[in-house]
Amino acid sequence: MSKVKVNTRNSLFVKILLISLICMTVPMTFSLLYANDSVSKTLYKESAGSVAAIASEKRSEIDLAVGQIMDQSVSIASQPYIVDYINGTGQPGGSPGVVEARIADYLEDVVKASNGLYENMFIVGLEGTILIDGIGGGSTGSSVGGAARSWLKEAGANNGSAITETAQQSPVTGRPVITNAVIIPGVTEGNPAGLLVTSVDLGELAGKVNQNGSGSELKTMLVNGAGLVVSAAEPEYILTLDLSKQQGDLFDYYNGFKTSQAGSGTFTLEGVRYISAYEKSGIQDVYAVSYTPMSKYTEKAEELNHKLIFVMLAAILLFSLIITGFARSVTKPIAAGSAYLMEMAAGNWRIEIPVRYMNKKDETGLLMRSVHQMQQSLREAIGTVKQESDRLKENVDTAKGSISELNGQIRTVSEITQEMSASTEETAAAAEELRFMAREAEAAVQAMAENAVRGAADSRSIYTRALGLKEGTEQSKERAAFLLQTLKENLNSAIAHSQSVHRINLLVQTILGIVSQTNILALNAGIEAVRAGETGKSFAVIAGEIRKLAQQSGSSAAEIREVTADVLQAVDDLTHCSREAILFMDQTVLEDYELLVRSGEQYYRDAAFFEELLDTFSQAAGEIRTSIHGMAVSIGEITLVNSQFARDTGLIAEQANGILQQSVVVAGTAGQTEESAEELRNGIARFRV
């Protein structure tokens, strides 16, 4: 069995594999994109949340440190000797110079103990002059101008202690500082006597925060309300980086400070993209901004994306192997079935479908079982058609032989009839002569007496010919009866055998029924394929091929039916013509022969009577006239009978010729029937069952 070659692009296996891979790859690709997006968003949220937590933590640390500074400043401002000094009450046993030195030493100790946190701590009078400082008198005697009144006002509004101004550059050290002013109470309750002012170095204040961020990817900077960086892990940013003067996303990020106390976002600084979060201090106008490079987040996202892509490719490979096995299990029996159907279409019905394909429980098994059933049914039908076509050929050969024999017999009958017609004409002529002689005898009795001996001889001759005519007519009648009986038996046998042709029509009807069932099966398979959707499209193609094969089988069966109809029509015509010939011979020829026999007998009796009359002619001369008159009458009747017999014999000859022509037509029809049977045999010869 040859394999069916299918274009790779049209292969059902390739289609199933491609559709399955597309149906698997497209959702997985969308899932991967969605997962990447979700992972990216999740990582971004986690990174932003982590940075926001750090910013909040640093802001809390700064606020806690500032709060501690403020508490310490309040505690120092409440010291009795400082209060007494600023109010001028002094202390027993101490001079003002000693008190100032003591306070100065104390403040200097506090400044030194802060390890650089305090740039300076000094006492300011209400008029704005620095009375005592903690840096060895470096600022003593200088005036802060109108700042004293501002500090006093702000501190009075905040329970006596306040961060009086936003972070700014120190005029002494050039470093960013914030100022904490605490009211020194006066003698009269509610009236201030002066201010204890602490200048706090923001760099040192945020040192712990910046130290934690230094050397790592997560960093923190302090930005004042005006957008100036007052503290950062990178020294080059301090008091030089002003966010309010930047462009792009960094400026947009700074604008967020104006709308919320805390937030998160991204910005680009010196070509590096950062994820950042900010939170404003609850004590001062300073923002703690924590930030980390976005590359850390993107690296994690890319790593996770690579893992997802690897998992997806592994899944596609695994599913491809599974789908390949499944597609082969589906397409292999279909391909085998197509090969078997191609062999059957080529006329080879001897092949057997493997049992393993028919034992499958799915639709391919049903298809193979249906093809096997169709194969068995058509094999039986084709075998029957072959057998009946052979039998039809034998019947046609027999009919042709019988018709040939009938033609020979009809030719014999025609020749005999022509001879009888010639004899009858001669007899009529002889009768005419006898009538003429009888007239002459009646006119001249004497001459008749003299010629009595010659009349007796002529009478003997007539008697002999009448006897021959009688015997020949009886023999012809017997031969015609025998011919008619033989013809009846042969034609009845041929007609009986020709009825087997009708079985071909029944077989053709059976084939058309099988074709109709195959069409219905193919249609149901197409409907089921449509219901199955995309998976069922391949089965729709197979159902269409089966339907085409069924249509081709139906066309062949229709041609067989047309040929069978021609054969049946030819057999019916042959039967009809043969029956008409038999009826004609039975009703006309035999009756004419019967009439001829009766006429011969009558002619024989008349001849005997004429001979007897001549024998007694010499004994009854007186009765000659009467006898001659009776002879003339008898001869006239013989003449009439012979004339009628001649006409009937001619009619029989014509009818015999007509029968012969009809027999030739029947022989031609039998030849056509033989040709039709041969065409039928040739048509089914290509089927090997």
Query: What CA–CA distance (Å, rounded) separates 496 from 661?
Result: 24
Cα 240 to chain centroid, rounded: 72
Half-sphere exposure of 684 (CA within 13 A, CB side): 26
**The Cα angle at residue 629 between residues 627 and 634, in degrees rounded to 5:** 90
What angle do helix axes 501-531 and 363-443 make, rounded to 10 degrees?
160
Helical spans, DSSP H, in 174-293: 202-205, 207-213, 249-255
Question: Is the Cα dihedral 65, 67, 69, 71 positive or negative?
Answer: negative
Q: What is the pLDDT of residue 613?
A: 66
Query: What CA–CA distance (Å, rounded) separates 6 from 603?
Result: 94
Query: What CA–CA distance (Å, rounded) separates 131 from 117?
Result: 22
* Sheet-wide strand order for 229-231: 229-231, 219-224, 286-293, 272-280, 262-269
- pLDDT profile of the chain (689 residues), mean per 10: 51 71 79 74 76 84 84 88 81 65 90 87 90 88 87 85 74 80 84 89 70 62 84 81 87 86 88 88 84 77 78 82 77 74 73 77 77 78 75 75 73 73 70 70 61 64 71 74 75 67 68 74 74 70 72 72 72 72 69 70 69 64 63 69 70 72 71 70 62
Which candidate, 505, 494, 504, 546, places its Cα nearest to that of 523? 546
Amino acid in the structure at residue 370: S
Token pair, residue 317, equals 């490979």
Which candidate, 574, 547, 571, 545, places its Cα nearest to that of 665? 574
* pTM: predicted TM-score of the whole model, two decimal places: 0.42
With b for 16 or more beta-carbon neighbours within 10 A and e for fewer, the 333-372 pattern comes to bbbbbbbbbbbbeeeebeeebeeebbeeeebbeebbebbb
Cβ contacts of 534 within 8 Å, gap of 6 or more: 19
Which candidate, 541, 544, 548, places its Cα nearest to that of 523? 544
Q: What is the pLDDT of residue 607?
A: 64
Query: What CA–CA distance (Å, rounded) separates 271 from 240?
Result: 18
Token pair, residue 147, equals 């700042």
Q: What is the pLDDT of residue 124?
A: 92
DSSP line for 3-44: PPP--GGG-HHHHHHHHHHHHHHHHHHHHHHHHHHHHHHHHH
DSSP state of 586: I
Strand partners, 130: 124
Amino acid in the structure at residue 27: P
Query: What CA–CA distance (Å, rounded) separates 280 from 287?
Result: 4
Question: Is the Cα dihedral 671, 674, 678, 683 positive or negative?
Answer: positive
Q: What is the pLDDT of residue 132?
A: 92
The Cβ of residue 376 has, within 10 Å, a number of other Cβ atoms equal to 12
